[in-house]
Structures are given as structure tokens and as C-alpha cells.
Amino acid sequence: MKKTLKYLAYGLLLALVISQFIPTELPENNSDLSNDIVVTEQAPDEVKIILRKACYDCHSNQTVYPWYSQVAPVSWLVAKDTREARDELNFSDWAELSKRKKIKILNEMAEEVEEKNMPMKIYTVIHRDAALTDEEISTLISWTKSRSDNILGGD
């Protein structure tokens, strides 16, 4: 029994080492902010801070990849999750969206934040500073509703 566990442990260690040689293509970042929501919507500083700390690692081209994003198999999960999040919503491409799409996203943002679905729990476990306070949730909801109303009104 001990011998089997020993071989199993060696096998797992070998698989982990070999997995490091499988390339991971993390989504690329882009420093161009000209189409970004905080620029195009002229977000107040407190909203910029909230979005950057709680949303941008997944939902923008401004991702800050932590050290563990370079270690397989976690790197594969980080790459997959970031790609999926950017496909769903990418704040860096905000200016390219139609007014209708912007309003829809702003309303969904308010709902997701109010229901505490975003940022995701699995993310805030590791990135504790990304967890939103009640005050930050209120600030973000007020801002999204205000922006949605302004866009609807022709701003």
C-alpha cells in the first residue's frame, strides 16, 4: 500500500513538472485606453477605482496576471476564465458598443453587483481587495443607472 502511494505521488509530481512545458496563451493586454469605459464615460475617480480593483483583471485588456498564472494547470484556468470574461464584457472595447448594448450592459452590471454575483466569489477568495463593500456596491449601482439614463437621453 505504501509503495502504491509512493508511486502515485511520484507520478503526480512528474505530471505536474511535464505540464509546465505545455504552453499557455494568456490573453494579451493592451495599454490603449481610448475606447475604455472609464475614459469614454468619464467615470468619476471612485468608480474608476472600483472597476479597476474588482472588474478589470477579467473584463478588460488591462489584466494584471499574478505569479500563479504562469504555473500549469492554474495558468490554463486563468487563461480560459479571462478569455470567457472578455468575450462576455470587455471594458476596453466600450466605445465600440452600440448605445443599446451599453445600456443593457450597465443594467446587467447593476444587477450582478447588487445580487453580489460579481466579482465572483472564487476570485475574491484569492483577491480579497476585489470584494466590494456595501458602499462601493451602492456607488457602482448609482453610477451605472445614471450613465444608462444619460445614454438613453442622448448623452
Tell me if 73 sits within 8 A of 65, measured CB to CB. no
116: helix, coil or strand? Answer: coil
What is residue 5's predicted lDDT score, i.e. its pLDDT?
Answer: 78
pLDDT digit string, tens, across residues 3-19: 787 767 766 766 666 65
pLDDT digit string, tens, across residues 134-155: 999 999 999 999 999 998 876 6
What is residue 3's predicted lDDT score, i.e. its pLDDT?
Answer: 78
DSSP for 51-73, written as a single string: HHHHTHHHHSS-----GGGGSTT
Q: What is the mean pLDDT of the chain?
A: 89
Preceding omega of 119 cis (within 30 degrees of 0): yes
Stretch 69-77: mean pLDDT: 88
pLDDT digit string, tens, across residues 22-60: 666 888 898 888 999 999 998 999 999 999 999 999 999
pTM of the model: 0.83
Which phi-psi region, left, alpha or beta, contains residue 133 (left: φ > 0; alpha: ψ -120 to 50)?
Answer: beta
What is residue 68's predicted lDDT score, i.e. its pLDDT?
Answer: 87
Is a pLDDT exceeding 90 seen at residue 125? yes
Which phi-psi region, left, alpha or beta, contains residue 55 (left: φ > 0; alpha: ψ -120 to 50)?
Answer: alpha
DSSP for 133-149, written as a single string: PHHHHHHHHHHHHHHHH
